[in-house]
């Protein structure tokens, strides 16, 4: 009986409810506010603040809609932390910074939503930029960060990196900032919502500096994910508006790996062409279907309803790859040095 | 990007100015930004501060402040004359001690003032059914080859512990200590989308807290601020504490490392060893009896303690009445009169004057055979050490604040106040601190916001139920033993005696007797499970000393006793 209850709770708190961007139709009013703000001419009125903070309550209400995303955050961050430290050690760093492994690094979060991941990246020392296609998300994220002295650059006892937000897309950012701009690029729970995942992946990848890291988290296209995210959450239980997810858009870990195995996935820059830097694939080869630990890694994330926590499937755990492919997973890949 | 930043700032500035003209206009004080504000410098608060300062990463990441109303210099400078002891003593379990060791605080405890507790003897005041726990039982029956201290717990003066924690804090100087300063009020910052707690101190300072920790004892101001309700009642019971002097045990006896506890209908009396010639008293009894005993001359208290461990219950009741009545008539009983009265009662019960049960027993030479069954005879009470505390049961509904009370967390007595019969209050507080410390560590590690519900939830999950079990068991035990009706006394005696025979049960009791808790020992759950299989439902999952005998009793004598108990506890709940 209790098993049933647990199972039900699991469905009830389906991870996939916690998706981004869809929840906030950005009204023209907000969009214009952000546009004004970008021109530096914003005059914010209290109505707008109230409006943002109502939305902000959705993003930041840890018991509400996004509760599961809040709970997932430490697990994603743990993975980011582990991989960055691991590679720093691999590169022969004398003293890695355990307290703030991202210190001094330029970090980008694509599809930052309310800023959940950005704040953590900044606390770990990253000079972080969060971008989102929704103007109101950007306002919400900015408003939330402003309450935290550790994140505002004015803080007298600064222990974190810097944090800023921008209302833009990966494509536009690539156009304005140019490729190879960030040491770490993250895009969590976003790719399953974009229309052209190849282009999206390519844009994100181009923004990564040589030797830098790309982190993605998403949902695999498996019978289990269909059952949990579409059949149960949308159709049977109506937890999420039907149509929120499109199963066919889900991407499997092998497809991610394949993308980075091909040398033509990521276009070479004109300078690269001029310098005749060959565009090497990011993953050189597979070993029994699995990339080398220093090139790319896939780790499953599972929600343990009885603990109320997400957990990262341990590397090399029995059946780790089965779990990883089952539903939610994080993917890491490193851009080769030139 | 710059402009977006500017936008955020403007929003923020605006948010700060929205709608607080009245409340904050008067105070021009700029709040001090603080990551962790700990209210309360008792054992729990000091232990948390100590733990947070023990870790370089936390030290470099978090700004921690502790606020305590009293003068901490008095604790720092505590230097009792040798041979005397503070009357507040706690049994620090091995799990608690291990935690204090890990954070580097135990090294500052003056170990010479502490005493290892190697055995516990518990018996019923009416039936004399007795249980004995010692580490030998555990080592022999359950964990052969386990290399461990034979001690079950270490009796330590609270001040010795608090001083150690302060010394540890002073050595790291990573925590800002505000003492002789009270938390006057706590307000929620007015900010759209959820403000942080603003802690107003009596010296005019204001601390803005990312995380506000209530380690502020039973009347927790943090708990009130967080709007957390609590559930509880006052027991009609007072605990008398005192430091007792006695002769050393002879070389024929086991040394003074056994704790004794006798359950009387008025409440349990406990004898906790501190040194070969000194021990600490915790005697829970009715308030009017406590009052009469404390207002009598010290010799009366000493003789009554000796009698309380030895005389049959009827005589004790008689003596209590005598003391109360003579105090009421204005001619209180003196020590000499009481001794005569006691020896008369001994003769009427035909207690041999050479038996250990006689107050006149000779404490030199070859001791009587039954001497190890009883604590040494008290000769004196340390002057000024006798005091009393009202006892209560209280459990907060939540350990972490929510909504308007967000960014708050409770530890120690602020979260739970318990009957001292199992000596677990302080250990529960240290267990809380350890769990919270790990949560904070974990959140910092992954760049989390340590004030967020997400970061704190594992703390509540880990501690709430665990504490609840201990509390419920102590409460039931208190009620079970204060019952004098025949079937319950019978059940009690059967229960205790049966338990004494059940080695595995005893071993599990022992494992939880503080030697190993779920915090470290692997075996609690396993043993817990095998219990259930034996039909002794979740017996003594947790407590030290006697633990949850009630459940076992309930199972053994059937539902009858349990339903009486249930009725009993329900009727006491307001
Ligand atoms: C008779 C007796 C015997 C006991 N025996 C044992 C035992 O054997 N083993 C055991 O484990 N436990 C025992 N306990 C329980 C133990 O003493 C308590 O659990 C423990 O002291 C609680 O510690 P704490 O730090 O949570 O709270 P407290 O010790 O109550 O500390 C709270 C602190 O907060 C401060 N404070 C409160 N309000 C404010 C304010 N507004 N501003 C600033 N500061 C404030 C107070 O000054 C105080 O210092 C016993 C208790 C009693 C009564």
Atom index in ligand 1 nearest the CA of residue B44 equals 25
Q: Which residues of B51-75 are buried (b: 16+ CB within 10 A; e: fewer)?
A: bbbbbeebbebbbbbbbbbeebeeb
Ligand 1, pocket-test mutation among B183, B413, B542, most atoms within 8 A of CB: B413
**CB-CB contact of A329 with A303 (8 Å):** no
Element (H, E) at A109: strand A106-110
Query: Would an 8 Å CB–CB cutoff place A51 in contact with chain B?
Result: no
With H, G, I as helix, E, B as strand and everything else as coil, classify residue B204.
Answer: coil
The backbone torsions φ and ψ at residue A39, rounded to the nearest 5 degrees and listed phi first, read: -85, 0
CA distance A303 to A68: 9
How far off is chain B from A69, nearest CA to CA, in Å? 10
Q: Is the predicted pLDDT of residue A21 greater than 60, yes or no?
A: no
Strand duo B278-285 + B267-275: pairing = antiparallel
Give me the architecture of the B32-110+146-229+397-465 domain, per CATH. Answer: 3-Layer(bba) Sandwich (3.50)
Verify whether the Cβ–Cβ distance A143 to B402 is below 8 Å.
no
Say whether pLDDT at A218 is over 50: yes
The CA–CA distances, whole Å, from A75 to A116, A299, A313, B108, B194 equal 13, 11, 10, 37, 25
Q: Which residues contact A332 (CB under 8 A, 6 or more apart)?
A: A79, A83, A213, A214, A215, A216, A296, A297, A298
Helix (H, G, I), strand (E, B) or coil at B138: helix
Question: In terms of DSSP bridges, do strands B130-134 and B89-93 run parallel, antiparallel, or are they unpaired?
Answer: unpaired
Does residue B239 line the site of ligand 1, with CB under 6 A?
yes
Backbone angles phi, psi at B49, to 5 degrees: -60, -40
CA distance B420 to B427: 11
Section B487-507 average pLDDT: 52
Output the residue whose Cα is nearest ligand 1's atom 29: B42
Residues of chain B in contact with residue A57, where contact means CB-CB under 8 angstroms, are 193-194
Average pLDDT over residues B441-456: 96
Starting at the earlier edge strand, list the strands of the sheet with A309-312.
Answer: A163-167, A127-132, A106-110, A182-188, A208-219, A328-334, A296-304, A309-312
B465 CB within 8 Å of a chain A CB: no
Of residues B15 and B454, the one with the higher pLDDT is B454
Whole-angstrom distance, CA of residue A269 vs CA of residue A275:
10
CB < 8 Å to A81, chain B:
445-447
**Contact at 8 Å (CB) between B94 and B152?**
yes
The distance from CA A333 to its chain's CA centroid, rounded to whole angstroms, is 13
Segment A301-337, tens digit of pLDDT = 888 777 778 888 887 777 666 665 668 889 999 999 9
**Can you state the angle between helices B425-445 and A67-90, rounded to 10 degrees?**
70
* DSSP result, B370-421: GGGGSPPPEEEE-TT--EEEEEEEEEES-SB--GGG-SEEE-GGGTEE--GG
- Look-up of token digits 């989390």: B448
Domains of chain B, residue spans: 1-26, 32-110+146-229+397-465, 234-389, 483-570
Sorting pLDDT into bands at 50, 70 and 90, what band is B369?
confident
Q: Are B208 and B63 in contact (CB under 8 A)?
A: no
Pick the residue whose CA is nearest to atom 47 on ligand 1. Answer: B69
Interchain CB distance below 8 Å, B447 and A120: yes
Q: Which of B188-197, B276-285, B390-399, B551-560 has the lowest mean pLDDT?
A: B551-560
pLDDT digits (tens, 9 = 90+) for A159-202: 789 999 999 999 999 999 999 999 999 999 888 888 888 999 99
- Angle value at C-alpha B542, between B521 and B456, nearest 5 degrees: 75
**CB-CB under 8 Å, A124 with B57:** no
- Going along B135-215, which residue ranges are E strands? 153-157, 175-179, 183-188, 197-201, 206-214
Band of pLDDT at residue A156, cut at 50, 70 and 90: low
- Return all residues near B251 (Cβ < 8 A) that are at least 6 apart: none
CA distance A144 to A56: 7
DSSP code of B128?
-
Q: Which has the higher per-residue pLDDT, A134 or A117?
A: A117
Residue A107, pLDDT score = 98
| CA gap A91, A95 in Å, rounded | 11
Alpha-carbon gap, residue A171 to B124, rounded angstroms: 79
Q: Looking at ligand 1, which atom is closest to the CA of residue B70?
A: 47
Non-local CB neighbours of A72 within 8 Å, separated by 6+ positions = A15, A18, A301, A303, A310, A328
Expressed in angstroms and rounded, the spacing between residue B1 Cα and the centre of ligand 1 is: 51
Q: Please give the share of chain B, as a percent, with pLDDT higher than 70.
A: 76
For chain B, what is the total number of helices (H) and then of strands (E)?
20, 19
- List of E strands, A195-320: 208-219, 286-287, 290-291, 296-304, 309-312
- For ligand 1, say whether the CB of B78 is within 6 Å of any of its atoms: no
Ranking A50-54, A98-102, B153-157 by mean pLDDT, the lowest is A50-54
CA B158 to chain centre: 10
How far apart (Å, rounded) are the C-alpha atoms in residues B497 and B483?
18
Among A164, A176, A310, the residue to mutate for chain B (most B Cβ within 10 A): A164
> What per-residue string of b and e applies to B503-521 under the rule 16 or more CB within 10 Å gives b?
eebbbbbbbbbbbbbbbeb
Residue with tokens 């507080």: B429
B541: which 2 tokens?
Answer: 């999952």
- What does the DSSP assignment read for B258-319? EEEEEEETTEEEEEEEEETTEEEEEEEE-HHHHHHHHHS-HHHHHHHHHHHHHS-HHHHHHH
Confidence bin at B242 (pLDDT 50/70/90): very high
Q: Which of B116-125, B459-468, B493-502, B547-556 has the highest mean pLDDT?
A: B459-468
Q: How many Cβ atoms sit within 10 Å of the Cβ of residue A185?
A: 25
Is B1 in contact with A98 (Cβ distance < 8 A)? Answer: no
Q: Is A272 annotated as a binding residue?
A: no
The Cα–Cα gap between A157 and A86 comes to 29
Would you report the helix, strand and coil content of chain A in percent, each value rounded to 5? 45, 15, 40
CA of A268 from ligand 1 middle (Å) equals 67
pLDDT-based confidence at residue A153 (cuts at 50, 70, 90): low
> What is the count of residue pairs from A and B with beta carbons less than 8 Å apart?
144
User: To test the ligand 1 pocket, which listed residue (B39, B41, B42) has its Cβ within 8 A of the most ligand atoms?
Assistant: B42
The pLDDT tens digits for B510-561 are: 444 544 444 444 333 322 222 222 222 222 222 222 333 333 333 333 333 3
Residue to mutate, B37, B40, B160, B419, ligand 1, most ligand atoms under 8 Å from C-beta = B40
* CB-based contact B536:B509 (threshold 8 Å): no
pLDDT band at B442 (very low <50, low <70, confident <90, very high): very high
Retrieve residue B11's tokens: 């929003």
**pLDDT per position as a tens digit, B110-138:** 999 999 998 888 888 877 777 777 766 55
Concatenate the DSSP letters of all residues of B512-558 into one string: IIIIS-TTT-SHHHHHHHHHHHHT-TTTTSS-STT-SHHHHHHHHH-
Residue of A200 and B493 predicted with greater confidence: A200
pLDDT score for B146: 44
Q: Give the whole-angstrom CA distance, residue B213 versus residue B137.
A: 40
- What percentage of chain B carries pLDDT values higher than 90? 56
Q: Say yes or no: domain B234-389 is CATH 3.90.1570.10.
A: no
Quote the pLDDT of residue B161. Answer: 98
> Judging by beta carbons within 10 Å of its beta carbon (0-12, 13-18, 19+), is residue A309 exposed, middle or buried?
middle
Above 90 in pLDDT, residue B177?
yes
CA of B264 to the centre of ligand 1 (A): 26
> Residue whose CA is closest, atom 38 of ligand 1?
B216
Share of chain A above pLDDT 90, in %: 39
- Give every CB contact of residue B259 below 8 A, 6+ residues apart in sequence: B91, B117, B119, B120, B121, B155, B270, B271, B272, B273, B545
CA distance A49 to B182: 36
Domains of chain A: 2-334 (3.40.50.150)
pLDDT in the model for residue A17: 32
Top-confidence residue, B482 or B156: B156
Atom of ligand 1 nearest to the CA of B96: 11
By the CB < 8 Å criterion, does A181 face chain B? no
* B80 touching A (Cβ < 8 Å): no
- How far apart are the C-alpha atoms of A146 and B491, rounded to whole Å? 64
- Tell me what pLDDT residue A19 has: 33
Contact A117, A20 (CB under 8 A): no
- Is residue B306 predicted with pLDDT exceeding 80? yes
Q: Does A63 sit within 8 Å of B446, measured CB to CB?
A: no
Query: Looking at A297-311, B98-112, B161-175, B524-538, which range is the least confident one?
Result: B524-538
User: Which of B47, B48, B67, B69 should be mutated for ligand 1, with most atoms under 8 A from CB?
Assistant: B69
Res B68: pLDDT: 98
Q: Taking phi first (over 0 means left), then psi (-120 to 50 degrees means alpha), and beta for anything else, what does residue B303 get?
A: alpha
**B413 against B424, higher pLDDT:** B413
Q: Whole-number mean pLDDT of chain A?
A: 78
Which of A40, A49, A152 shows the shortest C-beta gap to B18?
A: A49
Q: ipTM of the assembly?
A: 0.81
A35 touches B at CB < 8 Å: no
- Tell me if A147 and B12 make a contact (CB, 8 A cut-off): yes
Q: CA-nearest residue of chain A to B189?
A: A147
Determine contact: A304 vs chain B, CB below 8 A.
no
Confidence tier at A214 by pLDDT (50, 70, 90): very high
- The shortest CB-CB distance from B461 to any of A57, A120, A308 is to A308
């Amino acid at each position: 009986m209790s098993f049933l209850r647990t199972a039900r709770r699991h469905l009830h708190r389906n991870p996939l409810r916690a998706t981004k961007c869809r929840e906030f139709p950005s009204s023209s009013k907000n969009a214009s506010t952000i546009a004004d703000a970008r021109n530096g001419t914003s005059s914010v009125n209290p109505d707008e603040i109230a409006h943002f903070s109502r939305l902000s309550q959705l993003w930041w209400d840890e018991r509400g809609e996004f509760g599961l995303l809040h709970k997932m955050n430490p697990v994603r961050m743990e993975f980011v932390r582990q991989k960055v430290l691991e590679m720093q050690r691999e590169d022969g760093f004398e003293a890695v910074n355990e307290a703030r492994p991202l210190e001094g690094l330029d970090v980008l979060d694509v599809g930052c939503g309310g800023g959940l991941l950005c704040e953590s990246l900044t606390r770990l020392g990253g000079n972080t930029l969060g971008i989102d296609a929704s103007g109101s998300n950007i306002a919400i994220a900015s408003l939330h960060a402003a309450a935290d002295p550790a994140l505002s650059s004015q803080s007298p006892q600064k222990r974190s990196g810097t944090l800023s937000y921008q209302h833009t897309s990966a494509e536009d950012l690539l156009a304005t900032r140019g490729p190879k701009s960030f040491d770490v690029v993250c895009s969590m729970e976003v790719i399953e919502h974009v229309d052209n995942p190849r282009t999206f992946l390519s844009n994100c990848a181009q923004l990564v500096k040589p030797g830098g890291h790309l982190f993605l988290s998403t949902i695999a296209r498996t019978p289990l994910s269909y059952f949990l995210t579409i059949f149960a959450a949308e159709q049977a239980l109506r937890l999420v508006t039907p149509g929120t997810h499109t199963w066919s858009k889900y991407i499997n870990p092998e497809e991610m790996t394949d993308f980075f195995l091909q040398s033509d996935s990521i276009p070479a820059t004109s300078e690269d062409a001029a310098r005749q830097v060959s565009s090497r694939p990011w993953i050189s080869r597979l070993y029994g279907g699995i990339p080398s630990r220093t090139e790319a890694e896939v780790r499953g994330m599972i929600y343990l309803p009885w603990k109320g926590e997400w957990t990262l499937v341990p590397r090399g755990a029995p059946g780790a790859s089965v779990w990883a492919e089952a539903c939610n997973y994080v993917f890491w890949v490193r851009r080769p040095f030139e | 990007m710059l402009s977006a930043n500017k936008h955020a700032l403007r929003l923020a500035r605006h948010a700060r100015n929205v709608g607080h003209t009245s409340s904050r206009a008067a105070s021009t004080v700029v709040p001090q930004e603080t990551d962790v504000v700990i209210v309360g410098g008792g054992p729990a608060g000091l232990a948390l501060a100590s733990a947070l300062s023990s870790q370089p990463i936390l030290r470099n990441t978090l700004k921690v402040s502790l606020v305590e109303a009293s003068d901490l210099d008095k604790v720092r400078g505590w230097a009792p004359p040798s041979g005397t002891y503070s009357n507040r003593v706690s049994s620090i379990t091995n799990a608690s001690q291990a935690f204090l060791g890990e954070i580097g605080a135990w090294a500052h405890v003056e170990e010479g003032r502490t005493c290892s507790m190697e055995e516990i003897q518990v018996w019923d005041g009416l039936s004399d059914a007795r249980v004995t726990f010692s580490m030998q039982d555990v080592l022999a029956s359950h964990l052969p080859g386990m290399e461990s201290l034979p001690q079950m717990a270490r009796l330590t003066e609270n001040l010795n512990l608090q001083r150690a924690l302060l010394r540890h804090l002073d050595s790291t100087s990573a925590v800002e200590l505000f003492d002789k300063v009270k938390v006057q009020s706590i307000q929620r910052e007015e900010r759209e989308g959820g403000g942080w707690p603003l802690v107003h101190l009596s010296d005019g300072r204001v601390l803005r807290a990312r995380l506000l920790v209530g380690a502020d004892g039973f009347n927790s101001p943090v708990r009130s601020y967080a709007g957390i309700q609590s559930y509880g009642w006052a027991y009609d019971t007072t605990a008398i504490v005192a430091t007792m002097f006695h002769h050393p045990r002879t070389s024929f006896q086991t040394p003074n490392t056994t704790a004794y506890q006798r359950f009387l209908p008025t409440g349990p009396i406990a004898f906790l060893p501190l040194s070969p010639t000194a021990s600490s008293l915790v005697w829970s009894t009715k308030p009017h009896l406590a009052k009469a005993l404390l207002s009598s001359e010290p010799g009366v208290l000493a003789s009554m303690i000796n009698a309380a461990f030895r005389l049959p219950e009827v005589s004790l009741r008689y003596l209590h009445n005598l003391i109360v009545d003579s105090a009421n008539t204005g001619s209180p009983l003196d020590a000499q009169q009481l001794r005569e009265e006691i020896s008369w009662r001994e003769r009427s019960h035909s207690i041999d004057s050479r038996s250990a049960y006689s107050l006149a027993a000779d404490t030199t030479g070859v001791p009587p055979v039954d001497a190890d069954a009883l604590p040494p005879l008290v000769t004196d009470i340390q002057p000024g050490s006798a005091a009393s505390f009202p006892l209560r049961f209280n459990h907060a509904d939540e350990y972490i604040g929510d909504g308007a009370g967000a960014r708050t967390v409770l530890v120690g007595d602020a979260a739970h106040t318990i009957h001292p019969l199992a000596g677990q209050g302080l250990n529960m507080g240290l267990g809380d601190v350890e769990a919270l410390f790990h949560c904070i560590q974990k959140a910092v590690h992954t760049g989390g916001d340590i004030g967020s519900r997400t970061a704190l939830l594992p703390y509540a999950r880990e501690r709430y139920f665990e504490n609840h079990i201990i509390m419920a068991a102590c409460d039931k035990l208190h009620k079970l033993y204060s019952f004098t009706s025949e079937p319950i006394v019978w059940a009690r005696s059967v229960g205790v005696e049966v338990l004494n025979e059940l080695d595995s049960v005893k071993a599990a009791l022992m494992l939880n007797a503080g030697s190993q808790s779920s915090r470290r020992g692997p075996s609690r759950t396993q043993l817990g499970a095998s219990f259930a299989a034996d039909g002794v439902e979740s017996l003594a999952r947790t407590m030290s000393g006697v633990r949850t005998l009630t459940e076992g009793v309930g199972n053994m004598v059937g539902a009858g006793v349990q339903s009486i108990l249930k009725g009993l506890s329900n009727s006491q709940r307001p």
